[in-house]
Amino acid sequence: MSMSRKVRDYFELVSPRWDMVRKSFYGEEVREAVLNAVHVSPSDTVLDVGAGTGFLTEAAAKIAVKVIALDFSRGMSEEAIAKMGRGNVEFRIGNAESMPFQDSSVDAVVANMVLHHCPHPEIAISEMSRVLNTGGRIAISDLQEHSYEWLRKEHADLWLGFKMENVATMMKESGLDNVKTGTLSSCCSSMQEGQRVKIPMFLASALKLD
């Protein structure tokens, strides 16, 4: 079974209870930090990559004229549709590493806890950059580098987080400017053998100037 197939199977399995699972991992302040970093405005088309059950989508749709929620798990998308309806949200099934969108077609891209499930995170970031309009904004939140190997099995993680400087380099190499990275106040919490493990999260943001 390919790595991305393992990830997809995991999310199909957990999709009915994902909202509950997610709440135990990280809090609402992550959503606020990501959306603040891209300054969503009423005229924007926002792309939420790896939208899942709509953690970022739901909040962005209250402001932006249109939100595109991309996820490669049909189960996760169906949970999101059941929860929020369609409204100004377009749901698409697709892969972060080969997104079914034209170049320069969105004003802002957001992605939360997606990179560590991507076989090639640099390709995912380059795709996010490709679909951004000139002047577009991007914000990515994910786990900082850690050593909890068991997360590969428990949650189909392909990467044990990332060094912030490596994410910044990938963004710059994808043609993004004004790259900023920082630690989020929220950690990702998970349980292992009755012990609560806390992993720091990061927020990386950038602009596409040309």
- Residue-wise pLDDT tens digits, 163-198: 999 999 999 999 999 999 999 988 778 777 677 788
CA-nearest of 12, 25, 4, 88 to 52 is 12
Show the domain range for 127.
Answer: 3-208
Element (H, E) at 28: helix 28-38
- Residue-wise pLDDT tens digits, 135-173: 999 999 999 999 989 888 877 889 999 999 999 999 999
Least confidently predicted of 2-6, 96-100, 133-137, 159-163: 2-6
Domain count, the chain: 1
CB distance 19 to 53 below 8 Å: yes
Residue 86 makes CB contacts below 8 A (sequence gap 6+) with: none
Mean pLDDT of all residues in 113-141:
97
Least confidently predicted of 5-14, 125-134, 196-205: 5-14
Percent of the chain with pLDDT over 70: 93
CA-nearest of 109, 80, 104 to 93 is 80
- Residue-wise pLDDT tens digits, 85-94: 889 999 999 9
Task: Please give the Cα distance from 36 to 31 (Å, whole number).
Answer: 8
CB distance 202 to 167 below 8 Å: yes
pTM: 0.90
CATH number of the domain within which 66 lies: 3.40.50.150
Token pair, residue 139, equals 């914000």
Is residue 78 exposed (0-12), middle (13-18) or buried (19+ Cβ within 10 Å)? Answer: middle
